[in-house]
Structure 1
Amino acid sequence: MEWLAERHAFSESKGCVKELADAGITKLPPMFIDPKAKFVDPRPRNLTVPVIDLKHVSTDAVPRAKAVEQVQQACEKFGFFQLVNHGIPASVMDEMLEGVRRFNEQDSEVKKQFYSRDKTRTFSFCSNFGLFSRPEINWKDSIHAIMAPNPSNPEQYPPICRHIMTEYASYVMELGISLLELFSEGLGLQKNYLKEMDCAKGLVLMGHYSPKCPEPELTLGNSSHTDNSFFTILLQDQIGGLQILYENQWFNVLPMPGALLVNIGDLMQASTSPCHPYEVFK
């Protein structure tokens, strides 16, 4: 089939959208054209998702109880919430975003050393991990790094972003444990319940990069999807562009300076349902 041949050729060349953008193309290759893109509302309404302040949550019972209640309500109603005073320095967050940019904007031959669609590798890079499994592909390049449970030799990460990846991951692991405690308490369980289920063992870092597109009205940077991870901590740049489906309508989620966006993920329901007589997080 022609469409499959085009994708195989792209993959075998270790191609990426950054290369296409740098080449100055004026028309999108057919495989990037997504018929659903024309149905996307270019100016959807904005949605304010709950903002949860973690200041003093680990040391004071009053703000902790408030945070547990807010997490419970946010998970029931939205499946998303934003975190402030989460403990990750703004400088580390900014440098993590910069590290993703640096990796993608370096010489193509250097990037191709890490090119792979094998997500079991410690670090891999490609355009569209779902190149052969999804009907549509996006205008983006991605990195995928396994940070836990078995931290690898740092030498296996790219030198250009190695230090910040390991530093950022250490902060995220600590924050993840704190969130699991709040989730557990929101479910009426002991705070270590989800942690003792080994829910805090794994950590995968993904970074997406979308350069300027010649025909942005014909494609998407990321197609609509549900997140099947246990939960996801999203670090957004301040440009925005993230939308969530709420009450059958798409809304923009405006980024807050210094905040992190949390998506509780599909597996939260699967993981919590058997251990509680009713589902708190739906």
Structure 2
Amino acid sequence: MPDISPSHFNVGCESFPSPLQYQDAGPEPATPWSVPMMKMHANAPLRRPSAVSEKFLLPEHQRPTVQHDDFTNLEIPIIDLAAYDLEGDESAMETVVAQVRDACLNWGFFQIINHGVEEEILSRVQSQANRLFSLPYSDKMKVQKQPGKYSGYGHVTAKEGDIRPWSEGFYFSDEKSAADHAQQLWPEGNNDFVDSYKEYCEKVKHLSSRVMRIIVAGLEADPAHFEKYTTDTGGLLRWNFYPACPEPLKTIGLTAHTDFNLLTVLHQGEIGGLQIQKDGKWIAVRPRPGALAVNIGDTLQVLTNAKYKSVPHRAVVNTTRSRISLVYFWVPLTTIDIVPSPDLVDANNPCKYKPFNFETLTKTKQMSFLNTLDHFLREE
């Protein structure tokens, strides 16, 4: 996919001059949040970066110190799912189960290849996301995410009074809302938008179910407990847009948090920016061609009685390249209390959490992004 490199850095209706000099590949947009395709002069002189607005500036002690491409030699697990589908090859399947179990125990995060989501689908969805985020800000506000709703355009994971993240998001809850939004954005019709969304979600939902079966197979617990939460359930899709930023180490694309759901499947694109926490340190996740990332969510942490942990993660930005990520949250059945598997509770590992429902979890998550499950711990 082509890079989105604007001549101005834009977050919502905010616009900031670029620290680099660019040559337009097309006309300048009429509104500041449009994102035209650009190419950089080979010998362009540097300009002095403009200061980021205070509403985006983090306190110094909260600012990221690991850059988007500051990759280490620490090997984040990469798991080939092809072996799990080799009919009759129990040894190969057991190897995949063991690899996933090890990744869940030690990382809460891993990347997968040969996952069944074709590159052509990823490219089409990425293209639609580019198209949406390239719209004028006033157009996107026509489909602004409303309070209490799960779909629409808005800031990513920000609540009243927070420092604003250097990013924006678009949330999907179902096919109807996607079609309604497409009609508002493109009244002349846009079947590609809805069809791409639908096909991608179907593929990633199937993949999520498949990964969950592998995870449960490594737990030595009755699958029936987990099936109560995964049968006839679905997911939420969010597109994240991280514009280039003149001062990336003074702001954050997405603040540190854990996910509320069972597990998350992420297409992070070819540009670094995703970071996970390992042993108290932040690690930049190197993008892998053809790979999708998977991380454990709060709900799965509770179901496993904290045997598998929900991994803290964040997104950082950079000066020259914008990034789009596609995030699929596989959500548990919402009508029953979230409780650990009885097979993972015993005298040596007592039940760590009080029962709670999904609505309580999501409300608590809105107030506490990072340590949500601390609110549900049983007293010693």
* TM-score over 0.5 for the pair: yes
For the structure 1 residues 191 and 89, does the alpha-carbon distance in structure 2 shift closer, same or farther, using more than 3 Å as the test? farther
Larger radius of gyration: 2
Question: Paired residue for 2:241?
Answer: 209
Match status 1:33 vs 2:57: yes
Alpha-carbon deviations, 1:9-41, whole Å to 9, x = none? Answer: xxxxxxx71542374993322111112454523
Tell me the distance in 1 between the aligned counterparts of 2:173 and 2:94.
Answer: 33
Tell me the distance in 2 between the aligned counterparts of 1:154 and 1:34.
Answer: 34
Question: Paired residue for 1:108?
Answer: 137
Aligned Cα RMSD in Å?
Answer: 2.6
Are 1:119 and 1:144, in contact at CA under 8 Å, matched by a contact in 2? no
More helix as a share of residues: 1
Counterparts of residues 117-196 of structure 1 (less than 5 Å)? 117-118=146-147, 120-121=149-150, 123-132=151-160, 135-147=162-174, 151-152=175-176, 155-158=179-182, 159=190, 161-191=193-223, 193-196=225-228
Normalised to the residue count of structure 2, the TM-score between the two structures is 0.62
For the structure 1 residues 195 and 119, does the alpha-carbon distance in structure 2 shift closer, same or farther, using more than 3 Å as the test? farther
The alignment of Structure 1 onto Structure 2 pairs a total of residues equal to: 260
Normalised to the residue count of structure 1, the TM-score between the two structures is 0.82
Alpha-carbon deviations, 1:97-144, whole Å to 9, x = none? Answer: 2222211112323211111243534x21012442416x3221001011
Q: Give the gaps of 5 or more residues in structure 2.
A: 1-9, 16-30, 34-48, 183-189, 306-339, 353-380
- Identity rate, percent: 26
Match status 1:88 vs 2:82: no
Tell me the distance in 2 between the aligned counterparts of 1:262 and 1:77.
Answer: 14
Question: Paired residue for 1:221?
Answer: 253
Tell me the distance in 1 between the aligned counterparts of 2:74 and 2:234.
Answer: 31
Q: Please give the secondary structure, in 1, of the residue aligned with 2:169.
A: strand
More strand as a share of residues: 2
Q: Give the gaps of 5 or more residues in structure 1.
A: 1-15
For the structure 1 residues 251 and 95, does the alpha-carbon distance in structure 2 shift closer, same or farther, using more than 3 Å as the test? same
Alpha-carbon deviations, 1:217-251, whole Å to 9, x = none? Answer: 32111121122221111111111111111111111
